[in-house]
Amino acid sequence: MHFSCHGTQDLENPLDSGLILADGRLKVSKVMSPPEVNSALVVKNSMSIAFLSACETAKGDKDSPDEAMHLAATLLFSGFRGVVATMWIMNDLDGPKIADAFYEYLFKDCDPHSNPPVVPDLTQAAKALHFAVAKLRQEPDISFRRWVPFIHYGL
């Protein structure tokens, strides 16, 4: 699953944190609620990775850093094996760059036409994010604040 949108962390009511979509906010509380029977959300066994190209999707709370509830943790709780997220506000120009390099790394050895097809090894997501951030850091005049918010949780 890949989201490229705005995100927000509500420190007063963490269950209201979420992604800002065209039809409203996808709140943590909604993601945590059990799916309806026969719902398209009942795909837990196939949920491998979520990429959240949005601000504050892994933002913690400085007053209780070990107890922070954020969207990335919620997706892990909901069944995703890995989540790419941001710890604070990100530069809008960097999201596509990080995503392109991330997916470039994950798909570099894939061949959908082979028998059997060679698909991405999603256990390499953390390494792919490292590659993507390193690539962004190589650009001229990229400050620390531009590359440091990106983080990977899970496998």
Question: Would strands 6-8 and 82-86 be described as parallel, antiparallel, or unpaired?
Answer: unpaired
Q: What is the 3-state secondary structure (H, E, C) of 37-61?
A: CCCCCCCHHHCCEEEEECCCCCCCC
- Is residue 33 scored above 90 in pLDDT? no
Domain count of the fold of the chain: 1
Q: Which domain holds residue 24?
A: 2-154
- Each residue's pLDDT tens digit, 35-94: 665 455 545 555 689 999 988 888 876 666 556 678 888 888 888 899 999 988 899 999
Measured between alpha carbons, how far is 83 from 48 in angstroms, rounded to an integer? Answer: 9
- Is residue 10 scored above 80 in pLDDT? yes
- Is residue 143 scored above 80 in pLDDT? yes
Place of tokens 């005049």: 141
- Each residue's pLDDT tens digit, 87-123: 888 999 999 999 999 999 999 998 888 898 888 888 8
* 3-class SS shares of the chain: helix, strand, coil, % to 5: 35, 20, 45
pTM for the full predicted model: 0.83
